[in-house]
Structure 1
Amino acid sequence: MQKLKIINFNNIKLTLITFSLFFTQLHAKEITLCHEDNDSFPWILANEKGLSHIELRLVEKKLPDLKFKIQAMPWKRCLEELKENKFDGAFAASYKADRLQNGTYPGIPVNAKEGVPDESKRLHISEYALYVKKGSAIIWDGKKITGAKKVGAQSGFSILELLKKQKEEKNIEFLDDSAKNSVALLTKVANGNLDAAAVIVMQAEHAIKSNKELSALEKINPPLEKKPYFLILSHKFVTDNAEQAKKIWDSVAAVRESAEFKNKMKEAFK
């Protein structure tokens, strides 16, 4: 008598789910993103080890019908190519009204000339501070820089707007925006070529900790600025894929507050 073969429906169900996920990923929509080509601890690091990369890869997991193709390049070029719709998105960008020409922020309509981005959809928050030689008499009182003639910031970074205003008000005499990364910028202060540098705090602290020649530098309080940073999407992408754009930004918010991502942040600062 032939034995009846018992069908394991749980195994069949698991196989179908696995096949479905594989099929979805195989046909996932490719979304091209660009970012700055210099390390920006802890958010942008080589080999996609930065927290912004990790955050966006977790967004991919939440939205299996899309796949991010990420490319590093100079920040100015990244924003320019976003404007030309050569990329679907760019990260991580703080808000500047003139960047609305380049792309769309969450919470601001496509092609708007001004607006307030939805901060709940941010990738992260970072703050800028002035870094000087220890014992310096330079002061930042929250409105005015006193005691510094030559101040620098990284090329293309939004903090230049504040520093240009300080120069216009004659609080500083010279503004250097030639440095391509935070180490090069801070080295100018350590060597005496600049009196102070405006740097994202996490980057500066990591650079000082990692480079002995920068050990004579310190941060001035209060911070110059504290800003949210966003994934901005091209005008064309948002116009053609409004619902998908919303899902991406919603997923960024969800991932940022997730236990998995918070654990990744803890690991980055060990």
Structure 2
Amino acid sequence: MAESTALPERLWLEAGLPLPRVRQLDVMLTQLLAQRAGVAVEAEVLPWRRCLTEVREGRMQGILGLSYSLERAQWAQFPMKGGQLDDQARVWSDAYHWYVRALEPWRWEAGLLKGPVEPRVAAVAGYSVVNHLQAEGVTVGTQVPGSPSALRMLTLNRVDAAALLRTEADPLLRSEPDLAARVVRLEPALLERSYHLAFAIPFARANGPRVSKLWAALPQLRESSAWKAAEAQASSQRQGP
């Protein structure tokens, strides 16, 4: 799983969970899921692109927060039902939006980003929106390590638009008034995505009952008080002052 903001110890104590070395949202969600499903799970925090590589090459067994694509389905087993992706077994949902400079006339209409020039586009390396845009014929000329880098490049006029996750970009804008005055989010969403707990295909095939228990526990777990408390705390921390 990828790196994110640390959460307070009290959330683990209230949920009756052992305190981990890394106290971030994804780690807590993994522990809550393991607790509910009755399945032992060990969480390791890595940079996102390395998460993808480790599971794809079989050195790690699973990855939390992976959106579906045909390319990823070649090496990752997603929760399926009736031959279709089982959205009830999602971990969370999110959406990509275009972010542009506030004083420039960019519009997102009918699946096209319209503006005064051919846009120079940035996106976070390893995120599914990169392949989506490329499949739509959009050149992603700049791939950055994270949303903060993309927003900085917008303000420096090094790119014209950035395709970013709303839950990553919006908190940055809320926490930095100067940045918020210079960058806006376009509506509607560029791409809406569900994020899943996915497994390396060989591991899923060899551990079918264990994997199924974890997926089956997700719908009820998303509605639990401990899960909602962890997500609310993470959201408040992302919003900043």
Q: Same fold (TM over 0.5)?
A: yes
Residues 162-181 of structure 1 correspond to what in structure 2 (within 5 A)?
Answer: 162-166=132-136, 168=137, 174-181=139-146
Residues 35-184 of structure 1 correspond to what in structure 2 (within 5 A)?
Answer: 35-37=1-3, 39=4, 47-50=22-25, 52-73=26-47, 75-107=48-80, 116-147=84-115, 148-166=118-136, 168=137, 174-184=139-149
Provide the secondary structure at the position in 1 that maps to 2:105: coil
Q: Which residue of 1 aligns with 2:18?
A: none
Provide the secondary structure at the position in 1 that maps to 2:77: coil
**Residues 1:197 and 2:144 are matched in the alignment:** no
**Residues 1:187 and 2:187 are matched in the alignment:** no
Which ranges of structure 2 fall in alignment gaps of 5 or more residues?
Answer: 8-20, 237-241
**Residues 1:222 and 2:222 are matched in the alignment:** no
Whether contact under 8 Å (2:97, 2:190) holds in the other structure is yes
Q: In structure 1, give the amino acid aligned to 2:156.
A: N
Q: How much does 1:224 deviate?
A: 0.2
Distance (Å, rounded) in 1 between the aligned partners of 2:146 and 2:5 = 8
Provide the secondary structure at the position in 2 that maps to 1:36: coil
Q: How much does 1:245 deviate?
A: 0.4
Q: In structure 1, give the amino acid aligned to 2:223.
A: E
Select the structure of larger CA radius of gyration: 1
Q: In structure 1, give the amino acid aligned to 2:112.
A: K
Whether contact under 8 Å (2:65, 2:197) holds in the other structure is yes
**CA spacing shift, 1:131–1:65, aligned 2, 3 Å:** closer
Which ranges of structure 1 fall in alignment gaps of 5 or more residues?
Answer: 1-34, 110-114
Provide the secondary structure at the position in 2 that maps to 1:72: coil
Q: In structure 1, give the amino acid aligned to 2:153.
A: K
**CA spacing shift, 1:49–1:88, aligned 2, 3 Å:** same
Q: In structure 1, give the amino acid aligned to 2:225.
A: A
Normalising by structure 1, what TM-score? 0.74
- 2:216 alignment partner, one of 238, 250, 260: 250
Q: Which residue of 1 aligns with 2:228?
A: 262
Q: In structure 2, give the amino acid aligned to 1:253.
A: P
Provide the secondary structure at the position in 2 that maps to 1:161: helix
Provide the secondary structure at the position in 1 that maps to 2:126: coil
Provide the secondary structure at the position in 2 that maps to 1:93: strand
Whether contact under 8 Å (1:121, 1:249) holds in the other structure is yes
Normalising by structure 2, what TM-score? 0.82
Question: What do the CA deviations read for 1:29-88 (whole angstroms, capped 9, x no partner)?
Answer: xxxxxx234x4899xxx93322x3322111122234413232313x33322221222111
Question: What do the CA deviations read for 1:184-219 (whole angstroms, capped 9, x no partner)?
Answer: 011100111011101000110111123355221110
Task: Tell me which stretches of 4 or more aligned residues in structure 1 moved more than 4 Å.
Answer: none
**CA spacing shift, 1:138–1:65, aligned 2, 3 Å:** closer
Q: How much does 1:232 deviate?
A: 0.5
**CA spacing shift, 1:40–1:227, aligned 2, 3 Å:** farther
Question: What do the CA deviations read for 1:126-170 (whole angstroms, capped 9, x no partner)?
Answer: 00000111132111114111115201101111111232244x3xx
Whether contact under 8 Å (1:153, 1:177) holds in the other structure is yes
Whether contact under 8 Å (2:65, 2:91) holds in the other structure is yes
**Residues 1:211 and 2:184 are matched in the alignment:** no
